[in-house]
Amino acid sequence: MRHLTSLFALSNDDVREILALARDLKSRLRRGERPALLAGQVLTQVFEKPSLRTRLSFEAAMMQLGGSSIFLSRKDAGLEGREAVSDVARVIGGYSDIIALRTYAQSLIDDFARWSGKPVVNGLSDDCHPCQALADMQTIQEAFGQWSGLRLAYVGDGNNVAVSLAEACGHLGMSFAIGTPQGYELSRDFVSRVRRRFPKLELLESNDPHEAVKDADIVYTDVWTSMGQEDEKDTRQKIFSAFQVTPELMQSAARSARFMHCLPARRGQEVTDEVMDGPQSLCFPQAENRMHLAKSVLVWALG
Ligand code: CP
Ligand code: NVA
């Protein structure tokens, strides 16, 4: 069964197949084609956290492909202790062809993959955000015409989005640099796993944002406070202030560099309006590609 629980769990060929399919489905839509590849199929989405892009992109993807989707909050699904997770997963699996989840714990996604009997897609967990990173790779290919040899510099918190971007770079032959404040680096366990899994990946870690973005083709950032960390907001705002992506920081990157952000953005915190709305920004093409990528993940997983 084809699950998308993390990018570590995918082979190199899977990643390339999903991206090729996303590209093809996008160009078919541009020609006005909405092939009913998933006619009659049902996607159930179970989300423990808010979402605009992920929820909507999967719903729109399912509708355009001739299928339908159902949305359940954590409470609706009974994940607040109403019954065992394994029972919830088996019941949802009985009504659905595929399940997408947004969770705090990655283990909840893994439990659904184990118990539901249906393909499971990770729509973000505290640990990673694989669909985001895959859609970003589609955007990068459109902007640069290639992946291999490009350098992506991520500035900010060593969070779920950073993890999946590092893995995506490993799969596609890009180099990955990350600039974080001290104490907010990628976990040591993740860094050793990613180095073992992708021995050729060039990975630079720094606590200096200017050093991290030097010669980068892509400067990427995300919120300083992720969903679930709201109590740390004030502390984080102070600690991360030197890591704001400004026009000046963009100047330390390659002259042709582009700016990326998974959104939602906290304008005036991790990025200035000038960068986000400026000519280097790819934020909104990134958001649109979430839907093309969602389609390809659904088609890939459902055969
Ligand atoms: N980028 C992203 O996943 O956005 P949402 O939280 O709105 O789904
Ligand atoms: N790191 C952010 C990403 C949101 C798409 C979060 O987890 O809240």
Query: Could you give the CA distance from residue 176 to residue 92 in angstroms, rounded to a whole number?
Result: 38
In this predicted structure, the answer to whether residue 303 has a pLDDT above a threshold of 90 is: no
Could you tell me the domains of the chain?
A: 7-129+290-302 (3.40.50.1370), 132-286 (3.40.50.1370)
Tokens 């909050």 sit on residue: 73
Q: Is 90 exposed, middle or buried (0-12, 13-18, 19+ CB in 10 A)?
A: middle
Each residue's pLDDT tens digit, 1-41:
999 999 999 999 999 999 999 999 999 999 999 999 999 99
Ligand 2 within 6 A of 226 CB? yes
Residue closest via CA to ligand 1's atom 3 equals 54
Residue closest via CA to ligand 2's atom 1 equals 226
What is the predicted pLDDT for the residue at 40? Answer: 98
157 Cα: distance to centroid of ligand 1 (angstroms): 16
Q: Which residues are catalytic?
A: 102, 129, 132, 222, 262, 290
Each residue's pLDDT tens digit, 87-112:
999 999 999 999 999 999 999 999 99
Each residue's pLDDT tens digit, 152-199:
999 999 999 999 999 999 999 999 999 999 999 999 999 999 999 999
- For residue 171, give the nearest of 290, 292, 14 by alpha carbon: 14
β 203-206/151-155 pair status: unpaired
pTM for the whole structure: 0.98
Atom of ligand 2 nearest to the CA of 263: 5
β 258-261/203-206 pair status: unpaired
In this predicted structure, the answer to whether residue 208 has a pLDDT above a threshold of 90 is: yes
Each residue's pLDDT tens digit, 254-277:
999 999 999 999 999 999 999 999
